[in-house]
Amino acid sequence: MTGQAGGAAVTRHTVLATRLGQLTVVGAGGSLTGLYFPGHWPRPDRAAFGARDDRGFGEVARQLDEYLEGDRTAFDLPIEARGADFDRRVWDLIRQVPYGQTTTYGDLARRLGGADPRDVGAAVGRNPMCILIPCHRVIGSTGRLTGYAGGLRRKRTLLEIEQGLPETIDCRRDLTKAGGRTSTGHDG
């Protein structure tokens, strides 16, 4: 994932095949800068992904596999979530939500000193690091599942993994509908 061109970090990406479908992983300068589902909403600028290069993403692939199998509860990966100050404050709070637990947009807003929950929701939606910044743990005030960049089916599956519930969905079906290319190139 790392590379230098004239002293500047080179951005590269790979596409991993997972039980949730394809995940595009973006990295620059030794840090992960994006983790996206197919059809991620809002759509990231794909030009910012850099060239596809499957080398150097082995550790993130291993940790994601362990997490999706229910064998990992936290990630030990260098991430650099780029966004506005408010967004990063929201994402920092989300990262504090323990594995297997949830919070609400309103709870996050209160922890930010009374921010508008709609602004918190917008910041959650701009999270460039799905799963790694676990915005799937943010739910509506009534306990209902609300929007998720990877779709509500994936959000439900991630929460079920964390609750130790049996798998009820295989999101790889979405992969074949999208006609996407997969890679399991896990070069360390």
Structural contact between residues 81 and 27, judged by C-beta atoms closer than 8 angstroms? no
Q: Which of 94, 135, 158, 159 is catalytic?
A: 135
Closest by alpha carbon to 102, among 34, 156, 38, 165? 156
Q: Are 133 and 91 in contact (CB under 8 A)?
A: yes
Active site residue 130: no
145-162 as b/e: b if 16+ CB within 10 A: eeebbbbebbbbbbbebb
19 CB burial (10 A radius; 0-12, 13-18, 19+): middle
Q: List, by residue number, the catalytic residues.
A: 135
